[in-house]
């Protein structure tokens, strides 16, 4: 399993990771609905193994402004997880949460801390579902937030994946309630962790 390579991953492994992505995103959506106290629908997430370049393209180009929430995972497996939200979606979400409609280009401190909290809840619920499915102990670190160009934010997971290969595993999720929100998850388990996740699900 130490030689597991994303590019040569079998269809079975890929399907499992896809399913974990689906269930995790589903849980994250429930958490979001609870937080907003309204019904939130989710389209079936799309799970893709993409070249570095193509990830930013999906998000609207390298210069598209995104909010990225990034946190480390430790415990039985190690790695990190990132949740990305397009800037206008981030702004809408914060508005729904705080009731404050911000003006201007810059995010206020209140918006930033609300966004960090949203990210925290979404990523934690994602990890919780992963943890209960695999029976692995996962503890998230305190999340860090950045609002910047998609390319720049994505350089962080790209570099982590870059140690292993030239592709990124991206889970694209669309949420709906009154407004449409485009969100993306990037799961970055380290090499040995892929094996542990799969083994815990009974796949050798």
Residues that bind other proteins (CB under 8 A): 5, 52-53, 56, 61-63, 65, 68, 70, 72, 105-106, 141-142, 144-156, 158-160, 162-166
Residues 6+ positions from 59 with CB-CB distance below 8 Å: 66, 84, 86, 150, 154, 184
CB-based contact 195:1 (threshold 8 Å): yes
Measured CA distances, 59 to 89, 90, 103, 201 (Å): 12, 14, 24, 31
CB of 141 to other proteins, least distance (A): 7
| Residue placing its CB nearer to other proteins in the complex, 23 or 50 | 50
CB of 60 to other proteins, least distance (A): 11
Measured CA distances, 82 to 147, 200, 203 (Å): 13, 23, 25
| Residue placing its CB nearer to other proteins in the complex, 155 or 177 | 155
| Residue placing its CB nearer to other proteins in the complex, 26 or 165 | 165
CB of 10 to other proteins, least distance (A): 18
| Residue placing its CB nearer to other proteins in the complex, 10 or 61 | 61
In 3D space, the residue among 87, 67, 92 whose CA is nearest the CA of residue 153 turns out to be 67
CB of 56 to other proteins, least distance (A): 7
């Amino acid at each position: 399993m130490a030689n597991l390579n994303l590019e040569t991953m079998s269809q079975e492994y890929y399907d499992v990771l896809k399913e974990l992505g689906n269930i995790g995103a589903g849980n994250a959506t429930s958490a979001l609905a609870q937080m907003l106290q309204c019904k939130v629908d989710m389209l079936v997430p799309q799970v893709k193994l993409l070249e570095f370049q193509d990830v930013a393209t999906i998000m609207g180009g390298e210069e598209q402004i995104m909010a990225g929430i990034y946190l480390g995972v430790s415990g039985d497996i190690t790695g990190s997880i990132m949740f990305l939200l397009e800037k206008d979606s981030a702004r809408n979400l914060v508005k729904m949460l705080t009731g404050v409609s911000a003006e201007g280009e810059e995010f206020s401190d209140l918006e930033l801390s609300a966004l960090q909290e949203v990210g925290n809840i979404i990523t934690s619920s994602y990890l919780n579902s992963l943890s209960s499915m695999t029976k692995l102990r996962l503890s998230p670190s305190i999340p860090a937030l950045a609002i910047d160009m998609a390319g720049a934010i994505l350089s962080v997971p790209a570099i982590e994946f870059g140690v292993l290969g030239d592709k990124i595993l991206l889970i694209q999720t669309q949420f709906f309630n009154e407004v449409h929100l485009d969100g993306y998850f990037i799961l970055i388990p380290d090499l040995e962790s892929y094996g542990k996740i799969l083994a815990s699900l009974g796949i050798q």
